[in-house]
């Protein structure tokens, strides 16, 4: 695509105009920013894969504004989905799709990942449009998801016409993906709504967040969420000096690493606050002249599970590094 000027603003009508013309618009959600196109139009959706350089085997999430809308695009809505949707928005439901959802959106699967995002600007946009929005996270494939309009501009500037600026994402990690295709509902991706919270509402769930060997979560490749520089968990490899590394920690600073190379995600020990700050910390460290990032393991509860999952994926070495 020719380089074009990327506008940033809060103009829902302008966003609508671009989307109606089958162009891409970055949209805010409470989890991360999405890269949106008309989900019912394959020509629009194909642009998402091109701009993100995303493999076609990795299905997209469809965004709608209400549970009634979910009913339009899937053939069956379990009661558990009604229950969860009453309280939480950071959940993507994997349900059997109706034919109106093009195969390119679901990578040929007969299920669709669908969610009702919890951001007022995007909900208003969805209410005004007469089609749903397919939107993966608005980052180049494999890179860290964006949690501000500036993050989107940093990596997709010049490639899309408009970024709808809804401020900093309140949750800061992607939605929890849950499938109802299994006997017991199964979490395929740990995310913004915690396992504990989901179980309080619908009872016991299974968790199956294996990576590239898991056919049910085709997009959960090992290299997701990775910064460019290597990331290590709970250890500083001996080949690096303290000056050469950046730190991601929960509550406390490291004594020997320069302070500006450290991100303490929540000095008061709040995992929600830590999740909100995680991707900004990864992106900031990735742009510094350092050689490696060292992160600690977070408490394995609440949003700590999603944080640990993202750090683990960020720590997997890519073949081309």
Please give the residue ranges that form the binding site for ligand TXA (CB under 6 A): 29, 31-32, 34, 58-61, 92, 94, 106, 109, 111-113, 115, 117, 135-137, 174-175, 177, 188, 216-220
* Minimum separation from the CB atom of position 190 to ligand TXA (A): 12
Q: Which letter does DSSP use for residue 230 in this model?
A: -
Instruction: Please say which residue, 157 or 218, places its beta carbon nearer to ligand TXA.
Output: 218
Contact of residue 185 among Mg ion, ligand TXA, none (CB under 5-8 Å per partner type) = none
Judged by beta carbon, residue 254 or residue 276, the one nearer Mg ion is: 276
Q: How many residues contact Mg ion, by CB under 5 A? A: 1
36 pairs with which residues across the strands?
Answer: 25
Q: How far is the CB of 157 from ligand TXA (least distance, A)?
A: 18
Structure tokens at 216: 């049910």
Among Mg ion, ligand TXA, none, residue 25 binds (CB under 5-8 Å by kind):
none
Phi and psi torsions of 26, nearest 5°: -80, 135
- Which residue's CB is nearer to ligand TXA, number 60 or number 231? 60
- Assess 223 for contact with Mg ion (CB under 5 A): no
Least gap, CB of 203 to Mg ion (angstroms) = 29
Q: How many beta carbons lie within 10 A of that of residue 213, not counting itself?
A: 8
Distance between CA atoms of 22 and 51, rounded to whole angstroms?
A: 14
| Strands across the sheet containing 162-164 | 7-9, 162-164, 25-27, 34-38, 133-134, 61-63, 111-115, 91-96, 176-179, 186-189, 206-207
- Tell me whether residue 188 or residue 294 sits nearer to ligand TXA (CB atom): 188
Write down the least CB distance from residue 262 to ligand TXA, Å: 27
Residues in the chain: 321
3-state secondary structure of 7: strand
Determine the distance from the C-alpha atom of residue 289 to the mean position of all C-alpha atoms in its chain, rounded to a whole number. Answer: 26
Q: How far is the CB of 128 from ligand TXA (least distance, A)?
A: 19
Which residue lies nearer to Mg ion by CB, 137 or 315? Answer: 137
C-alpha to C-alpha distance for 271 and 227, rounded to whole angstroms: 21
Q: Which residues pair with 178 in a beta bridge?
A: 93, 187
Q: Which is nearer to Mg ion, 137 or 308 (CB)?
A: 137
- Is residue 137 a contact point for Mg ion (CB under 5 A)? yes
How do strand 61-63 and strand 133-134 relate by DSSP bridges?
antiparallel
89 binds, among Mg ion, ligand TXA, none (CB under 5 to 8 A by kind): none
CB 208 within 8 A of CB 216: yes
Asked if 217 and 207 count as a contact pair (C-beta separation under 8 A), the reply is no
Q: Which does 61 bind (CB under 5 to 8 A by kind): ligand TXA, Mg ion, none?
A: ligand TXA
Selection from Mg ion, ligand TXA, none that 147 binds (CB < 5 to 8 A by kind) is: none
* CB nearer to ligand TXA: pick between 220 and 293: 220
- Which residues contribute to the site for Mg ion (CB under 5 A)? 137
């Amino acid at each position: 695509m020719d380089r074009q000027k990327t506008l940033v603003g809060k103009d829902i009508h302008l966003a609508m105009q671009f989307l109606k013309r089958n162009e891409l618009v970055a949209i805010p959600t409470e989890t991360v920013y999405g890269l949106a196109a008309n989900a019912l139009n394959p020509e629009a959706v194909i642009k998402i894969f091109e701009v993100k350089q995303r493999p076609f085997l990795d299905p997209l999430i469809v965004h709608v504004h209400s549970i009634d809308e979910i009913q339009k695009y899937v053939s069956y809505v379990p009661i558990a989905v009604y229950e969860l949707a009453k309280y939480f928005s950071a959940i993507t439901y994997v349900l059997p799709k109706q034919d109106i959802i093009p195969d390119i959106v679901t990578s040929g699967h007969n299920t669709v990942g669908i969610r009702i995002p919890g951001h007022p600007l995007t909900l208003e946009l969805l209410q005004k449009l007469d089609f749903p929005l397919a939107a993966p996270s608005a980052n180049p494939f494999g890179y860290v998801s964006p949690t501000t309009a500036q993050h989107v501009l940093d990596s997709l500037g010049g490639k899309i016409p408009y970024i709808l600026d809804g401020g900093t994402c309140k949750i800061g990690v992607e939605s929890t993906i849950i499938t109802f295709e299994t006997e017991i509902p199964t979490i395929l991706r740990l995310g913004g709504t915690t396992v504990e919270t989901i179980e309080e509402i619908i009872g016991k769930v299974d968790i199956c967040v294996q990576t590239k060997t898991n056919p049910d979560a085709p997009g959960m490749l090992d290299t997701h969420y990775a910064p460019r520089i290597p990331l290590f968990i709970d250890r500083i490899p001996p080949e690096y000096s303290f000056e050469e590394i950046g730190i991601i920690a929960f509550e406390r600073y490291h004594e020997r690493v320069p302070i500006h190379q450290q991100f303490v995600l929540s000095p008061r020990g709040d995992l929600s606050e830590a999740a909100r700050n995680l991707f900004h910390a990864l992106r900031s460290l990735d742009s510094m002249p350092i050689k490696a990032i060292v992160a600690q393991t977070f408490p394995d509860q609440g949003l700590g599970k999603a944080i640990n999952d993202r750090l683990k994926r960020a720590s997997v070495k890519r073949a081309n590094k």
